[in-house]
């Protein structure tokens, strides 16, 4: 159960290192320079004084030979973010004890994986979206076998991407598009037919940077 982390120091060729779950956990718990983290969508910070707290689970699937990350694709009829690639998650509800419980509850509701099947191993920096959310990403490990029971009202596809692909900066693309009369910049990580972009891709960049800079 390993993933390859690819990195490149200034003036040096790309290098790679194998990470197992113990090493990923260690690096998630290590201090990394705060300046390396993406704080939010371009223009999100400062545009709104009140952000809605939310939480997502970054689900690492521990297959026997490799590690993957599980994603959902939102159904086309949803009012917000329809058809987009996301992590399981949602807004913090009053009954939730904290962001970790929110992430676990939403994961069970969206894809049917129970909290007792998920081992939380770390957190990522808080991320602010221009749509008004303050997201706390929780990193968790899920060991097969498990059964996906997707909520058809919210999720129309569940799929996995190799963690090694997501931890290779050559797959971290920068794109631009027009939004409310201005050009905005965002990260994208296209994988096959799936276009991972926006806040989801940015949080993956934060995962990558945490794992890299915890070692440098």
pLDDT in tens, 176-203: 777 666 777 899 999 999 999 999 999 9
CATH of the domain at 172: 3.90.79.10
Residue 91 pLDDT: 94
Size of the chain in residues: 216
Domain count, the chain: 1
Range of the domain at 66: 2-213
pLDDT in tens, 84-125: 899 999 999 999 999 999 999 999 999 999 999 999 999 999
Q: Which of 37, 124, 146, 139 is nearest to 88 (CA)?
A: 139
Residue 46 pLDDT: 47
Q: Which of 107, 102, 203, 106 is nearest to 146 (CA)?
A: 107
**pTM of the predicted model as reported, rounded to 2 decimal places:** 0.92
Residue 41 pLDDT: 81
Distance of CA 209 to the CA centre of its chain: 12
As a whole number of angstroms, the distance between CA 78 and CA 155 comes to 10
Average pLDDT, the chain: 89
In sequence order, the β-bridge partners of residue 138 are 57, 123
Residue 185 pLDDT: 85
């Amino acid at each position: 159960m390993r993933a390859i982390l690819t990195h490149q120091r200034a003036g040096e060729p790309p290098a790679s290192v194998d990470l197992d779950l113990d090493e990923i956990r260690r690096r998630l718990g290590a201090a990394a320079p705060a300046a390396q983290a993406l704080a939010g969508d371009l223009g999100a910070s400062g545009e709104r004084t009140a952000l809605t707290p939310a939480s997502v689970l970054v689900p690492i699937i521990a297959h026997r030979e490799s590690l993957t990350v599980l994603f959902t694709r939102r159904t086309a009829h949803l009012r917000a973010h329809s058809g987009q690639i996301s992590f399981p998650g949602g807004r913090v509800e009053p009954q939730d004890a904290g962001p970790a419980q929110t992430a676990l509850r939403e994961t069970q509701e969206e894809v049917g994986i129970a909290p007792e099947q998920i081992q939380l191993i770390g957190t990522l920096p808080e991320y602010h979206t221009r749509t008004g959310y303050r997201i706390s990403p929780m990193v968790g490990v899920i060991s097969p076998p498990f059964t996906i029971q997707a909520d058809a009202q919210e999720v129309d596809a569940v799929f996995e991407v190799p963690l090694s692909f997501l931890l290779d900066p050559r797959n971290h693309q920068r794109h631009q598009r027009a939004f409310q009369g201005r050009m905005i910049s965002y990260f994208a990580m296209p994988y096959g037919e799936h276009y991972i972009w926006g806040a989801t891709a940015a949080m993956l960049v934060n995962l990558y940077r945490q794992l890299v800079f915890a070692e440098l």
